[in-house]
Every structure is written in C-alpha cells, then in structure tokens.
Amino acid sequence: MMKVNNVSKAHPRGNDIEDTARVFDILARANIIASTTESLELLSEMLDLIIDVCSASAGTMYLLDKGHQELVFQLVRGEKSDEALIGHRIGANQGIVGAAVQQKQAIVVDDLMHDPRWYGTVGSETIALRNTIAFPMLLRGEPIGAIQVFNFQRKPLQLIQMLGNRMSSEYEKAVLLKTSQEYSQRLETLVNLMMQISATLDRDQILNTIIDEAHSLLNAEGTSLFLLDEESNELVLYVSKGSNRIPVADIRIPADTGIIGYVVKTGEIVRLRDAQQDHRHYDGVDRISGVPTRALLAVPLRTPDIVLGRERGISEARIIGGLEAINKFDGEFTEADAQLLRSLAEQAALILHLSNLYSEADELFLSTIRALVAAIDAKDPYTEGHSQRVSEYSVAIAQELRLPPETVHHVRIGALLHDIGKIGVSDVILTKPGRLTAEEYEEVKKHPLIGARIIGQVNLLEAVIPALAQHHERIDGKGYPLGLSGDNIALIARIVAVADVFDALTSDRPYRPAIDLETSLDILRKSAGDHLDARCVEAFLHAYIQGKIVPQK
Amino acid sequence: MMKVNNVSKAHPRGNDIEDTARVFDILARANIIASTTESLELLSEMLDLIIDVCSASAGTMYLLDKGHQELVFQLVRGEKSDEALIGHRIGANQGIVGAAVQQKQAIVVDDLMHDPRWYGTVGSETIALRNTIAFPMLLRGEPIGAIQVFNFQRKPLQLIQMLGNRMSSEYEKAVLLKTSQEYSQRLETLVNLMMQISATLDRDQILNTIIDEAHSLLNAEGTSLFLLDEESNELVLYVSKGSNRIPVADIRIPADTGIIGYVVKTGEIVRLRDAQQDHRHYDGVDRISGVPTRALLAVPLRTPDIVLGRERGISEARIIGGLEAINKFDGEFTEADAQLLRSLAEQAALILHLSNLYSEADELFLSTIRALVAAIDAKDPYTEGHSQRVSEYSVAIAQELRLPPETVHHVRIGALLHDIGKIGVSDVILTKPGRLTAEEYEEVKKHPLIGARIIGQVNLLEAVIPALAQHHERIDGKGYPLGLSGDNIALIARIVAVADVFDALTSDRPYRPAIDLETSLDILRKSAGDHLDARCVEAFLHAYIQGKIVPQK
C-alpha cells in the first residue's frame, strides 16, 4: 500500500506519467461526456472513462450522504450480479474507500487481499481482485463521493483525480439543473391546479379537484382533505387513494384528533418521515383508507383576509380545515413540497370560502323572498304555502323539459314571485269569504301587472318578469291581462300557469273544498291546448308519474 | 499566418508543447473556474486564464447570435476604454475571428498589421498589436462564439482550444441553470400574484393589483388593462406607468381599435418587437400614458367556463377585455413571457368574473327586498318610501358610530326590513284615515314580532332581526312589544329607532302635516336619553350637520 499526497501538488512518477497527447485525448472525451445534462448518465460515462484510463477490470462509484455520514453505492462496473449493491450503504469511514474520503486523497493498494481495511463486497464471485485505487470526488476541496477501481494496470493518479473532481463539479451542475427544472414543472402544475380550482364555485367539484390532483403534485400515494365543522367541532374527512376516491361525507373525527387536528388547531405545517413514530398520529384514517401512513405532510386550509368590497369590508382569515399528503413515492417530503402544498391549500381554502360566500348570497336571496312570499300568502289561509308549491312544481316541469340550469333558476324565482302583485290588492278582497263581485274580480286581475311593476325595479330579475305578468294568460288567448295566445306567452309563464292551476285545484277554496288528485290531473289533461300549454302539461304529468311532483297533503 | 487543423487531431509542435505538470495545473484552475454557476463571471475568468496561458497582453470574447449571424463582443481585456466595444456586433464571417468561426478552427496570425482581414477594433489607442490567435468556442462541434488573444508569446493551440470548448459547455450549463432558475422565480411571482388577486372580490383592487404588479412579472415598463363594455362596444382603459398609475376610468376607445382591439376580438395573443411597425397599432394610448410603445405583448382577459354549482349550471367562457405589457427592459418579450401573462390574465379574468357574480348576487338581494318593501310601503301613501329612507338614515348613523362594514351592512338590511311585519297587519287598519281605536293600535303594535317571525325563517339574517323586533322599544323601557330598556335594546334597533322617529316626524300623517326640519331635530335632541339612545341621536345630528342625512322634500 502506498499513499499519494494531494494530487495537484504531487509530481508524476512511475506509470503516472502520461504523454500530453494522451491527456488531451482523454480531456476531449471528458468534454463530450460533460455535455450531457443527465446526472446519472454523466456519472456512468465518467466512471467508464476512469476505468479505461487505469486499464482496470472493475470499478465502483459512491455518493456521500452527508446527513448520515454514509457512502451510498451509486454505480458498479464488473459483474452483472454486483448491480445488486446499488443503493447499499457503508459508513463514510469504512474500508479503503472510507479512508480515501476521510484523508481527502487517493489511496493505492497493490495487494488488496492483505489490506486489513478490505472487506470485499465487489466482484467476490468471479473476478479475482488483486489491487485497487480509491480516491475522493472533491467539490471545492470537500468530498461529495468516491471512486474505486480494481485490477488497474496503470495508475495516472493526477489525471483520474482531476477527472473525479471534474465529475463532481459536473454532477453538481446536472443536479442543480434537474432540481430547478423539476421545481419549475411542479410550479407549472401548481398554477394549473390553482386555475382549475378557481374555475368552479361548486364546493364538491373544488374538493374533488384537490383530492384527485394534489397527490400528483407531490408524487404522493394519496391526499386526505378535512373540513372543520365549527358547529359540532368535528373534522369531516374526504379521502383519495389514487383514482379510487372514497366519498366519505359521513366520516367525522373530533376536531382535536391526530396530526391533522394539531395542524387545524395551530395552523402549523407538519412534515414527518414516519407518522407511525409520532404520538399525535391517529390510525383511524389509515383503517378507513386502507393505506398505512408513513411519510406525512399536513398543511392547514387557511383562508387569507378576503376583501369583499368597499361597503362590505373584509372576511377575516381563518382555518377551515386541513390537507394531508401521505407516502411520497420517492422518499420523504421536502421543504419545497411543504411550500407547494401550502400554496395549493391556501388557494383551495380561498376558493372554498368564495364558493361559500357566493352560495350564501344566493341562499340569502332565495330564502328571504321565500319568507316574504310565504308571509304574503299566509294572510289568506286559503293560499298559505301556495307560491312555494307553485315554485317546486314549476321547477319539476322545467327540468322535465330539459331546460338549461340558468332557465330553471329563473323559473324557480319567477314562480315564487308570481303572485307578489297581490301586495297591491286590498286584503279585504283577497280574504273575502265567498264569491267576488265583478268589480272586486277586476281588482284581483290587476295583480299580474302590479307584480311586474314591482319586480321591474330589479334589473337582474328582468328574465323572470313574464312569470309574474303572464301567468294568467291562456293558450287560446282568453286569459288576462293582455289576452296573449300560444307562443306569444313566454315559456316561463306557460310553465307557471300549469303549476298554478294544479295547486289551485288541489287546494281548498272559500267556495269549494280541494279537488281530489285524479280529477285534478284529468282537468289538467283536458285543458291542455286551450287553457294550458300542451307540452308543459305533458311535462307536468311525466314528472308527476316519476314522483317528482309532491302535492300538498 | 498559419492554420492549424482541428485541434483534437493535431500533433503538438513548436511552443505548443506543454509539460504535463503545467497542463494539470491549468486544468485545476479551469476546474475551479468551472465551479462558478454565474455565466458572465465564468466567461470572464476563463478568458483571463486563456490570455495567461498564451502570455498574451489583450483578448476578446464574442458570442455568436445565430439568428442574425453576428458575433457580439462580450468581454474585452486590454485597455479600459475598449470596454465600450461590449455589445458591439460584427458579421459572423468578418475579420480574422469570423474566419476562425467559419472554418471551425484556430487561426494564428504572426504579423497582424499585414493581414488583409484585420480591421483593428481592439487596443487601437495605446497597445500596439503585433500578432493574434483567434479560435472558435465549439459546443458539440458547432461554434457558439469565439476568442481572440493578442501579442501572445506562447501558442498552446490544443490546450486553449480545449479550454475554449470547456468554456462553451460550462457556459451552456450556466445559462440553462440561470434560465431555469429565473423561470422558477417568475412562476413563484405568478403564484403569489394569482393568490393576491384571488384574495379580493373588490373589482378596483383586482384591477390595481394587476396593473401595479404584472409589469414586474415581465420586467416591462408598463401594463395597460382594458375592459370591454359590451353595451357601448368600447374598451375602457386602465394604465400603469411604474408606480404612477393613471386612473383613467373615463378613457374609452372603440372596441375594434388597435392591437388590443384585435386581441379582444380574436382571443389571440400578439407579441411584437416594435409595435410602431404594426399597422394595427393605435398611438392614442401612447399619448395618454406618455410612454411610446416599442416591444408589446397583448393577451386576452378570457374567463374560462365557471361552474356555478349543480343547480346553477355554467357561466360560459368569454373575453372580458385585454391585458397589454409594453417595453421589456431587457429586449423582446419571449414565448415564456406570453405564457406567463396569459396565465395571469386568465386568473384575473376569472376572479373579476367571480367578483361580478358575487356583487350581482348581493345586488340582487338588496334590490329585490328594496322593491318589495317599497311596494308594501306604497299601499299607504303616508308611508311611501319610508323604509328606504330609514335605511339610508340608519346607515349614516352606523357609519358615524364607526361600526365595522359588516355591522353597517346588517343595519342597512335591518332598517330596510324593519316594518316588514306590516304584511301581517290588515290594510284596513294601516290605511285608516284619522286616529286608530285602542284595539286597532294593539293590532298595529304586533308588527315588530310578526316581522321578526317572518325573517326568523332566514338563517343568514339572524343578525338583523333585532332591528325588526325592537325598533319600537324605548331607552326608558316604555316602548313595545317587550318594554326592554337601555342597553338591553340591541344597538341596531336603537339606531333604526332614531331614523324611524325622524322620518315619521318629517312625513305627513293622516292626523297632521309633516313637521319642519328644525323642530324635528329639536324633538330628537329632547328625546335623547328617554325615548331614544343619546349616542345614536348625537351620531344622527353629527351626520346631519355634515350633509350625510338628506331628508325627504
């Protein structure tokens, strides 16, 4: 065994002397190898070059895992079976190669079998190993790995140390580039996901997108999403297992359970190599999903302050749940993973919150007009609940007619408001027991136009006005107030007319009790084409048969 | 002059022969230089090494602009004044260096002054130039630039060609890494911008964020945003000039004007090196902003299909305007710039559209209850417009009290609905001319609780119910229906009570005409502390003095 001092200071001697032409030739080959940007290919070709330069029969390349102070077998040249060594780890001070790393210089062993540091892992089966050169791969003077060649016939130490160092520098660059490019790709995925999430106000669709896509962003086995139910102080679980997403709306855990409970409570990010080792881990979710959690990354679903507009102020930041990715396919979750998932979670929380605000505004509108309309109906015990029922029947007809959702929505609102004009008709007439006089009836007949005038104040309800103005028109032109006929009556009004007549028939009236269902349906059938629109009556009957019309008891 | 064949095949001769130790020494220096990842520093240090290796007194490094077939002076070593050459361009076949690039091999000129290709740009002032070596920087066999040294004393052609090629490869890697890292940074900026835009439903704030931030994403001089006004078929312009954003709400151009008009109409992205050369360019915007457009990148503001929810269907994709970045500081806009701006524009359009949907839902609610309440008020000519006025006065009081925007919003709605319970009181009593009987008055006194019962149906209006239930309570406990006193009466109800009393005083009544303003204010002042809340009365009077209360004429 002999040691060679730091190569840049050493003088060439023995068969370390190379002629210049051969050096340039080797450098030209190294330059070609260096032009690859794929890190593993680079290492592989460089190792082949070094084996070639030493006229050796086998070789090994290790990378140093600094955190664990271990050398990891990266490449093995020699026997095919030796490839099993790849990924195997030895202590960073173990063996001849460990000594070379510790001393930061090449070690030449001319008689391998008599060196006490040799423990023989390579080529033990078929290649007889006689000698070895081990030398560190130095980057800015510090080892990042090591190379070992066996059965060398030449030992150009200065040249191979220079190639090893070159390899270190090129490897670092290839890794930096790969890391940066992968990061860009993940950011691109994040941007796409953010846009996908933003393009819907449907809560379920937002949840599905996150659950189905978030784990691919992190190369993880699955994603679980938990929403905080503030009333019950529980976390409601949504699980994904690749494409087998389990819809688990009814699985709930107390809000302070498990790692996710900790994250939701504290707003902290938790990143673990093995969740099973953490005392906060709750394995109930593992049992539900059938996937035991190992590596885990959990982030809060936190909405930022949202500016609602100048008059409405700010909806304050709060945590609405948590997002958890488990079991990264290629190891542990990194800090970069945490930042990506945090960004996705923040956008998701934001859009979920916007979705809530939007549905609330929508619900506020609908439930308020429902309440007001119900109060107006309730002034006359005979019309109590009338508008709400007409709205439900009308929606069933509109859906039966396969009208687009926006139109169905207009039908719902128009039907709810169809009798709103009765605000302008005297209570005395509306609640009069017994038949009305001709004059009183003329007064009642004003309600469609009064309603249209009231709702005419609301620009955004323009589309529903015909339901108010024309629901007493008849297909045969004998209705009021204008005597419109056929398709001159808006579809929305023709729909409401059918629902309105059916509810009137099946309700008690001051002058008669409710007519039974069969007779009522028969009357509808007979009035199709003269009083009522035939297509709408047909749609009504169809919806009725399918149980979509539920008449009052 | 002599030519040297492709260096890897050439044999060393003359003073091209280097001893191996010196070669290794130079290679070690090259390795250290190569460990920098900053591309310009790398080129600079490599050029110094090559000048040193040749014992030369000056040198130049060019990069090849393949598109224009020009060599661009990148580095100049020699006289300080020669640095003015940096950025200067010559034809890729011009001069000795051009010849080396064309022939892909080194050219040695021992007597520079007699070479017809020499045109003397470097060191003409103080350094007398005698000889030169020019050689191409080859990457995978193709030139990406060239190096020229002057007044050399050694000509180790093989070595310097190898260093030049190494430089090409390292430079390529450094540029790739820098490009990738810059792209990541820009994606991070994009993600942050997307989140910033999403965290507001206030239209102006969304516009401001885009206008203030988009140009920094692209390193551009300014951003202009245009929104399409579909009614007038005009584009409304918002301009940014760095931090001097000009709010130009009233600057409008016909929708088919200029490049932005083309983009909004076709949905295409337009990217130009010089907008002044494009026939579509409209210089009106340049005049407004004071910034003449050169490089231009324009993208449509296109909302994707937005899922509103299962019942509400889809809001269909459409173009709502355009976004334009002008004058990139470091050259032309790239395809990557276009993709970034497109993503930002898409998210911006999406959030602008969500903001619209949200304000529409909000406006729909408010304008509908306004219309219904107005219709109920209008049944009695004496109360026409009453609820709307009480709402406006109440909001003025609430704002004077510096209540948070959410509470002000509740005050606005609660005041609007305060008398809604009159739906449940007979018209006959409500519209009775002259004084009511005791029994009739008892009937009227039910309206606060009837109102609370009606609106009690609406979960989201829980906060406004006290305005309905308690607006006839008095601070001294002598009010109705419950006889609450002092702070037991909700603040929102104490506010509405002041507004309600003031409107009643200043309105005609069946039994008296409207009381004049000064007397009405005096009555308010006197009732502070017994009938009305003193702080609310004070706030009302303060708002009145400042012109924030506009009583009915």
B422 is known as an active-site residue: yes
pLDDT tens, residue by residue, B271-304 = 999 988 888 888 776 776 677 889 999 999 999 8
Give the single-character DSSP code of A10: P
- Of A456-460, B318-322, B354-358, the poorest mean pLDDT is in B354-358
Q: A126-158 b/e with 16+ CB inside 10 Å = b?
A: eeebebbbbbbbbbeeebbbbbbbbbbebbbbb
pLDDT tens, residue by residue, B397-422 = 999 999 999 999 999 999 999 999 99
Average per-residue pLDDT in chain B?
88
Catalytic residue among B80, B422, B432, B553, which? Answer: B422
What are the Cα distances from residue B242, in Å, to A183, B212, B260, B347? 30, 7, 20, 22
Q: How far is B8 from chain A, CA to nearest CA, in Å?
A: 7
Query: Under an 8 A CB cutoff, do A354 and B198 touch?
Result: yes
The backbone torsions φ and ψ at residue A522, rounded to the nearest 5 degrees and listed phi first, read -65, -40
B184 in Cβ contact with A180 (< 8 Å): yes
Q: How far is A193 from chain B, CA to nearest CA, in Å?
A: 11
CA–CA dist A467, A489 (Å, integer):
10
Q: How far is A434 from chain B, CA to nearest CA, in Å?
A: 19
Q: How far is B84 from chain A, CA to nearest CA, in Å?
A: 33
A382 in Cβ contact with A508 (< 8 Å): yes
Nearest residue of A to residue B395, measured between CA atoms: A311
Catalytic residue among A265, A422, A445, A446, which? Answer: A422
Query: Under an 8 A CB cutoff, do B460 and A187 touch?
Result: no
pLDDT in the model for residue B9: 38
Query: Under an 8 A CB cutoff, do B365 and A363 touch?
Result: no
Give B-chain residues touching A159 at CB under 8 angstroms. 24
Give A-chain residues touching B450 at CB under 8 angstroms. 375
Per-residue pLDDT band for B337 (boundaries 50, 70, 90) equals: very high
A225 in Cβ contact with A210 (< 8 Å): yes
Does the CA dihedral B436-B442-B444-B445 come out positive or negative? positive
pLDDT in the model for residue A117: 83
Query: Under an 8 A CB cutoff, do B191 and A187 touch?
Result: yes
Per the DSSP assignment, residues forming a β-bridge with B239 are: B224, B246
Q: How far is A111 from chain B, CA to nearest CA, in Å?
A: 28
The owner of tokens 């308020």 is: A368
A509 in Cβ contact with A382 (< 8 Å): yes
Preceding peptide of B404 cis, ω within 30°: no
pLDDT in the model for residue B250: 64
Q: Tell which of B357, B364, B391 to mutate to test the A interface (max A CBs under 10 Å).
A: B364
The CATH homologous superfamily for domain B2-179 is GAF domain (3.30.450.40)
Query: Under an 8 A CB cutoff, do B184 and A188 touch?
Result: no
Query: Under an 8 A CB cutoff, do B423 and A379 touch?
Result: yes
Q: Just give the CATH number of B378-545.
A: 1.10.3210.10
Q: How far is B7 from chain A, CA to nearest CA, in Å?
A: 9
Query: Under an 8 A CB cutoff, do A304 and B195 touch?
Result: yes
Q: What is the full per-residue pLDDT of chain A (553 aa) written as tens digits?
A: 344 433 333 344 444 455 778 888 898 899 888 888 788 899 999 999 999 999 999 999 999 999 889 999 999 988 766 677 888 999 999 999 999 999 999 999 998 888 888 766 554 555 688 999 999 999 989 999 999 999 999 999 999 999 999 999 899 999 999 999 999 999 999 999 998 888 888 888 888 888 888 888 888 888 889 999 989 999 988 865 544 555 555 678 899 889 999 999 999 999 999 988 888 888 776 776 677 889 999 999 999 888 887 677 788 889 999 999 989 888 889 998 999 999 999 989 988 888 888 888 889 999 999 999 999 998 888 899 999 999 999 999 999 999 999 999 999 999 999 999 999 998 888 888 878 899 999 999 999 999 999 999 999 999 999 999 999 999 999 999 999 999 999 999 999 999 999 999 999 988 889 999 999 999 999 999 999 999 999 999 999 999 999 887 6
Give B-chain residues touching A364 at CB under 8 angstroms. 365, 458, 460-461
pLDDT tens, residue by residue, A503-541 = 999 999 888 899 999 999 999 999 999 999 999 999 999
pLDDT in the model for residue A223: 86
Say yes or no: do domains A200-357 and A379-545 share a fold. Answer: no
CA–CA dist A140, B78 (Å, integer):
30
Nearest residue of B to residue A35, measured between CA atoms: B169
Closest CB to A457 among B361, B363, B371: B371
Per-residue pLDDT band for B240 (boundaries 50, 70, 90) equals: low
Q: How far is A415 from chain B, CA to nearest CA, in Å?
A: 15
Query: Under an 8 A CB cutoff, do A374 and B457 touch?
Result: yes
Query: Under an 8 A CB cutoff, do A362 and B312 touch?
Result: yes
Give the single-character DSSP code of B214: H
Has residue B17 got a pLDDT over 60?
A: no
pLDDT in the model for residue B7: 39
Give A-chain residues touching B200 at CB under 8 angstroms. 306-307
Query: DSSP string covering B294-338, please?
Result: -SEEEEEEEE--EEEETTTEEEPPEEEEEEEEEEETTSSPPHHHH
Nearest residue of A to residue B13, measured between CA atoms: A21
Nearest residue of B to residue A204, measured between CA atoms: B309
Closest CB to A375 among B307, B360, B424: B424
Angle at A26 between CA A20 and CA A32, to 5 degrees: 140
User: Which residue from B276, B279, B280 is spatially nearest to B294, judged by alpha carbons?
Assistant: B276
Q: How many residues does chain B have?
A: 553
Closest CB to B347 among A195, A311, A461: A195
Give A-chain residues touching B367 at CB under 8 angstroms. 457-460
Average per-residue pLDDT in chain A?
88
Query: Under an 8 A CB cutoff, do B409 and A312 touch?
Result: yes
ipTM: 0.78
Closest CB to B427 among A20, A363, A426: A426
Query: What three-state secondary structure class fits A244?
Result: coil
Per-residue tokens: B174: 């450094």
Q: Where are the domains of chain A?
A: 2-177, 200-357, 379-545
A530 in Cβ contact with A374 (< 8 Å): no
pLDDT in the model for residue A132: 94
Closest CB to B162 among A11, A28, A420: A28
Per-residue pLDDT band for B207 (boundaries 50, 70, 90) equals: confident
Nearest residue of B to residue A16, measured between CA atoms: B20
Q: Which CATH number applies to A2-177: 3.50.50.60, 3.10.20.600, 3.30.450.40, 3.40.630.10?
A: 3.30.450.40
CATH architecture, domain defined by B200-355: 2-Layer Sandwich (3.30)
CATH class of A200-357: alpha beta
pLDDT in the model for residue B5: 39
Nearest residue of B to residue A351, measured between CA atoms: B198
Give B-chain residues touching A172 at CB under 8 angstroms. 35
Nearest residue of B to residue A19, measured between CA atoms: B20
Query: Under an 8 A CB cutoff, do A461 and B364 touch?
Result: yes
The backbone torsions φ and ψ at residue A109, rounded to the nearest 5 degrees and listed phi first, read -120, 110
Query: Under an 8 A CB cutoff, do A426 and B424 touch?
Result: no
Per-residue tokens: B364: 């729909």
CA–CA dist A297, A333 (Å, integer):
7
A414 in Cβ contact with A492 (< 8 Å): yes
B200 in Cβ contact with A353 (< 8 Å): no
Query: DSSP string covering A454-508, please?
Result: HHTT-GGGGGGHHHHHSTT--TTS--SSS---GGGS-HHHHHHHHHHHHHHHTS-
Has residue B91 got a pLDDT over 90?
A: yes
Q: What is the mean pLDDT of residues B446-474?
A: 96
pLDDT in the model for residue A313: 79
CA–CA dist A244, A393 (Å, integer):
38
How many Cβ pairs closer than 8 A exist between chain A and B? 279
Query: How many Å separate Cα B225 from the centre of its chain?
Result: 10
Q: How far is A301 from chain B, CA to nearest CA, in Å?
A: 14
Query: Under an 8 A CB cutoff, do B350 and A199 touch?
Result: yes
A321 in Cβ contact with A264 (< 8 Å): yes
Q: What is the mean pLDDT of residues B245-255?
A: 68
Q: What pTM, to 2 d.p., does this model score?
A: 0.79
Q: Just give the CATH number of A379-545.
A: 1.10.3210.10
Query: Under an 8 A CB cutoff, do B308 and A201 touch?
Result: yes
pLDDT tens, residue by residue, A468-498 = 999 999 999 999 999 999 999 999 999 999 9
Query: What three-state secondary structure class fits A273?
Result: coil
pLDDT in the model for residue B132: 94
